[in-house]
């Protein structure tokens, strides 16, 4: 199989249309079988529910070329389950788990020429998305839906992702208690766009959002979960009912425990950051991106791990997780799913 003629090392994290995508339609109370298509466009009614009432959810996962030359994806079952939960919360029909996993495999296999080679630092990003496609002017769920999976080759989410990032605490809230912060709904990300651009305009890579009730506890950033390491070497993971249950974060917790680190999941106050040795964003896109400093209303907090490189424990976690994904390290059973791309 001939790979595409791409300078993989220069890829950013952006959209590139590839050859095939999977699409299924829900109508009259059921999903059709779905099929592979080549058209990258979706034609919709001007009254489609997604335009008016943001009935949309999505997922993000990746495919990799391993050290042995295999094409694999990472824990797609968890993405399938999370998307089913998102759909339920948004009154959308869940796309069946096994069909989701098979569709991921089929789309990656069909676009195998776009999977970056091992060692390039690039990956194939996989985007499942579901939208309310049926016309709906009254405030109510759509009667028709589209589920689609498309893929694209990508580089690092943050430029120089291994170099620590500067974050800030915005005046905006991300999600309300008992709201939709725990699901991957498009509306959650829409509200983060203005705060994110404001952060960029002031020289920061991302925002750290606080709990909206008291604005004292850390939740997550606009596009990733957070983890910290205290000065005793314990890994501290912020806990809240209104943050997204990141597949990467859950995997990192498991990896950390297997490596012998103590892991504590608990609410974390903003003023505790001054006592942390390391901090990082974690998610499918970013994997693990270190934090250098956080701008807060009470002044800047600098992590002892420094402004130039990732701290030692976060480095170990990142190298182990990516090693599992790339086939360099044997991971837990079922984490890595091989794609038959012959």
Phi, psi of 319 (to 5 degrees): -65, -35
Is the CB of residue 234 less than 8 Å from the CB of residue 261? yes
Is the CB of residue 74 less than 8 Å from the CB of residue 3? no
Is the CB of residue 307 less than 8 Å from the CB of residue 295? no
Beta-ladder partners of 289: 281
Pick the catalytic residue: 184, 239, 274, 338?
A: 184
Phi, psi of 88 (to 5 degrees): -60, -45
**CA pair distance 180, 210, nearest whole angstrom:** 15
∠ CA 128-131-132, rounded to 5°? 160
Which residues lie below 8 Å from residue 323, measured CB to CB, with a gap of 6+? 329
The CA-atom distances, in angstroms, between 13 and each of 111, 160, 218, 328 are: 18, 12, 26, 24
Which residues lie below 8 Å from residue 179, measured CB to CB, with a gap of 6+? 242
Decide if 184 is catalytic. yes
Name the helix (H) or strand (E) containing 84.
helix 76-89
- Count of residues in the chain: 342
Q: Which residues are catalytically annotated? A: 184
């Amino acid at each position: 199989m001939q790979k595409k003629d791409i300078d993989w090392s220069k890829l950013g994290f952006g959209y590139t249309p590839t050859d095939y995508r999977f699409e299924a339609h829900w109508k009259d109370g059921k999903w059709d079988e779905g099929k592979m298509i080549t058209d990258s466009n979706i034609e919709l009614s001007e009254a489609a529910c997604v335009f008016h009432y943001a009935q949309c959810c999505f997922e993000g996962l990746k495919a990799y070329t391993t050290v042995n030359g295999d094409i694999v994806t990472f824990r797609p079952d968890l993405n399938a389950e999370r998307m089913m939960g998102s759909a339920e919360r948004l009154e959308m029909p869940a796309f069946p788990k096994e069909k989701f996993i098979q569709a991921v495999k089929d789309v990656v296999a069909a676009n195998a020429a776009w999977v970056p080679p091992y060692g390039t630092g690039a990956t194939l990003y996989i985007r499942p998305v579901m939208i309310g496609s049926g016309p709906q002017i009254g405030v109510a769920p759509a009667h028709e839906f589209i589920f689609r999976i498309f893929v694209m080759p990508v580089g690092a989410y943050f430029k120089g992702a291994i170099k620590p990032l500067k974050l800030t605490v915005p005046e905006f809230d991300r999600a309300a208690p008992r709201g939709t912060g725990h699901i991957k709904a498009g509306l959650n990300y829409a509200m983060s766009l203005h705060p994110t651009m404001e952060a960029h305009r002031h020289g920061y890579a991302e925002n750290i959002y606080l709990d909206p009730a008291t604005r004292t506890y850390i939740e997550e950033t606009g596009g990733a979960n957070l983890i910290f390491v205290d000065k005793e070497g314990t890994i501290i993971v912020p806990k809240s009912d209104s943050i997204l249950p990141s597949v990467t974060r859950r995997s990192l917790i498991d990896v950390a425990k297997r490596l012998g680190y103590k892991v504590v999941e608990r609410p974390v106050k903003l003023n505790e950051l001054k006592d942390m040795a390391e901090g990082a964003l974690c998610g499918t896109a970013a994997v693990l991106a270190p934090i250098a400093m956080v701008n807060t209303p009470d002044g800047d907090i600098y992590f002892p791990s420094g402004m130039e490189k990732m701290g030692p424990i976060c480095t170990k976690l990142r190298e182990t997780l990516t090693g599992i994904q790339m086939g360099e390290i044997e991971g837990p059973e079922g984490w890595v799913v091989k794609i038959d791309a012959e």
